[in-house]
Amino acid sequence: MNIDAKYDLIIAGAGLSGLSLAWYLAKGGYKGEVLIVDSTFAPVNDKTWCFWSNGEAPFEQIIFQSWSNSFISALDYSNVEELVSYSYHCIRSGDFREFVLKSLKSFRNFTLLEEDILDFSSNSKKAALITKSGDTYLANQIYQSVKKPKELKKKKISDALIQHFLGYEIRTKEEIFDPHTFTLMDFDEAFGDKGVAFMYVLPFETNRALLEYTIFSASPLDKDDYRDKINDYLKRRYNIGPDQFEISREEYGEIPMEIRPYIPYYEQNVINMGTVGGLTKPSTGYTFIRIQEYTRKEAARIIAGESPKPPERNNKRFEFYDSLLLNILANHSEIGVKIFRDLFDRNNVDEVFKFLGEETSLLQDLKIMSSVPYIPFIKAIFNR
């Protein structure tokens, strides 16, 4: 094997995980030689990462918008609620990439390489990244977020769903949005038993917003089906037609919703992180804060000279809750809207955020769980 260059550490993938790890390493004063590899480093705003926080938010410098009120509508429940303990934020992927890469330019020990990644190999002491052009780069450790673990294909995952969505960022002729209130979930009851569907709205200005038609189901739709739903929603909710708004961009995504087996390594000395490392919460698809918590701690370990550590196993208690909800959504999705309706009707949004963020005690969990229909969850326990 011909070695083109050697590094202390390689980061494979310049997405949220890879650049977050690089950011914390650089800001923490890491002195080792780091190679970051991706097919492109172009800062394109093709994703919107949202998260809630009850204190100082990560990457506050580039938060695009924050909200203090939430709107939720399901069945006969509809409510605008002020957030007390939390704020809801969004960061655009292009802004994030541009900010981190610009910062890394001042650190000479970080090298960027635009190459397509073919695979990884390793032995007990080193790991190698192989590009599609045939080049090989060696390091003591590789952190990768671009390839699914090989073992994942061999293992059966039950109740596997996808959170799939398509969104418009639009500018309207009239001022129709409240920029202080985001729509977390406005459920589409007409979607029936094919999955759970809802509209998600992030208003940036009174005449500018991102609207995403989002579905929890086993398979995605034709792209025009999402577009039709958004157009219908704009007409019903805001009484505007296609001639009354302009689309500045379109955003599409598919996020796995599944209880994955714990696979910390792609190869020896090649650590899985990000979604491929199990850092996406199965029941919600939220990933941003989990990635920040892991990469911040891992960078501190590396800088302190400690042994590398992959993302930890999911908390078993919350994984159990997630598995029950996924079982219900996969097998009885028509019950899903009622579950979400009762969840938000009988708990305030701050309590729900705390629960979904896995920050609650067992007693608080029981209060949340007792607020939703219990028979479907009992059946799900037996199904599991």
253 and 264 in one domain? no
Are β-strands 34-38 and 5-12 bridged in parallel, bridged antiparallel, or unpaired?
parallel
Q: Report the domain count for the chain.
A: 3
Average pLDDT of span 138-147: 96
Taking only the tens place, the pLDDT of each residue in 52-106 is: 999 889 999 999 999 999 999 999 999 999 999 999 999 999 999 999 999 999 9
341 and 267 in one domain? no
Which tokens in the block code for residue 310?
């992959």
- Tell me, what amino acid is at 237? R
Task: Evaluate whether 186 touches 71 at the Cβ level (below 8 Å).
Answer: yes
Q: Classify residue 57: in a domain, yes or no.
A: no
Task: Evaluate whether 186 touches 199 at the Cβ level (below 8 Å).
Answer: yes
Longest dimension (CA), the chain: 66
Cα(317)–Cα(252) distance, integer angstroms: 32
pTM for the full model? 0.93
pLDDT classification of 154: cutoffs 50, 70, 90 = confident
Which tokens in the block code for residue 159?
């109740």
100 and 34 in one domain? yes
Cα(12)–Cα(198) distance, integer angstroms: 34
19 and 151 in one domain? yes
Taking only the tens place, the pLDDT of each residue in 196-207 is: 999 999 999 999
3-state secondary structure 56-69: CCCCHHHCCEEECE
Which residue's entry shows tokens 């379109």? 250
119 and 39 in one domain? yes
Q: Classify residue 35: in a domain, yes or no.
A: yes
Kindly report the average pLDDT of the chain as a whole number: 93
Res. 383: pLDDT tops 80: no
Q: Classify residue 64: in a domain, yes or no.
A: no
At 276, is the secondary structure helix, strand, or coil?
Answer: helix
298 and 150 in one domain? yes
Residue 140 is predicted with a pLDDT of 95
The Cα-based distances of 324 to 67, 82, 83, 332, 371 in angstroms read 30, 29, 27, 11, 15
